[in-house]
């Protein structure tokens, strides 16, 4: 296949995909507050997560798969902190708001996480996991000390080295 025949498309880094999901979720919270329809946040989060996993470079799938719960929590924490700052009991309002928002969004969070995992598996997540295992195995083998009975300490590290002959009392 020639270079012109290849499909050129938008590719994101894992950071870009996470930023996309975070910004879309925060925007959904704003729209939900404006139209008084909190159910908007969940579907937008799922679509943004799906879009992120479809657009990310395949070599960065491993780092993207673990982020949907964190993205949802950070967006929810940010929104609920903003709401709580206007109340008298900030900490209590924040805790109750987080509990309610995370409970309301849990099904959407689980759906997005499962969907991202399935799409990532189809796009080559297994190869990323295999490469990571090989890297870790190679790193562990390189760091193993050789069978050496004595490992000398660096000079002067634990005790100062005294040069010359010891002084004697006259």
| Residue 14 to residue 60: CA distance in whole angstroms | 6
Q: List, in sequence order, every residue forming a beta bridge with 56; answer none if it has no partner.
A: 12
Cα dihedral 84, 89, 95, 96 in deg (nearest 10): -90
Q: What is the arithmetic mean of pLDDT over 114-118?
A: 95
d(CA 153, CA 45) in angstroms, rounded, equals 55
Residue 18 has pLDDT above 50, yes or no: yes
What does the pLDDT average to over 64-87?
92
Rounded to an integer, the average pLDDT of 99-114 is 93
Q: What is the DSSP letter of 150?
A: -
What's the whole-number mean pLDDT along residues 72-82? 93
| Domain range list for the chain | 14-143
pLDDT at 145 over 60: no
- At residue 101, does pLDDT exceed 80? yes
Average pLDDT, the chain: 84
pLDDT: is 2 or 125 the higher one? 125
Of residues 93 and 167, more confidence is placed in 93
Residue 106 in contact with residue 57, Cβ under 8 Å? no
Least reliable range by pLDDT among 33-42, 83-92, 154-163: 154-163
Query: What end-to-end distance do the CA atoms of the chain give, in Å?
Result: 92
């Amino acid at each position: 296949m020639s270079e012109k025949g290849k499909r050129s498309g938008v590719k994101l880094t894992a950071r870009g995909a996470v930023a996309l999901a975070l910004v879309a979720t925060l925007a959904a919270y704003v729209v939900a507050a404006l139209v008084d329809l909190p159910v908007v946040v969940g579907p937008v989060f799922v679509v943004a997560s799906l879009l992120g996993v479809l657009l990310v470079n395949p070599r960065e799938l491993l780092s993207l798969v673990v982020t949907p719960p964190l993205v949802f929590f950070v967006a929810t924490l940010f929104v609920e902190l903003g709401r709580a700052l206007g109340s008298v009991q900030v900490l209590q309002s924040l805790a109750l708001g987080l509990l309610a928002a995370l409970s309301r969004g849990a099904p959407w969070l689980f759906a997005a996480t499962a969907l991202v995992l399935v799409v990532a598996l189809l796009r080559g997540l297994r190869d990323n996991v295999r490469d990571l295992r090989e890297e870790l195995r190679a790193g562990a083998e390189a760091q193993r000390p050789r069978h050496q009975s004595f490992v000398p300490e660096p000079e002067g590290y634990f005790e100062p080295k005294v040069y010359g002959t010891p002084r004697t009392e006259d």
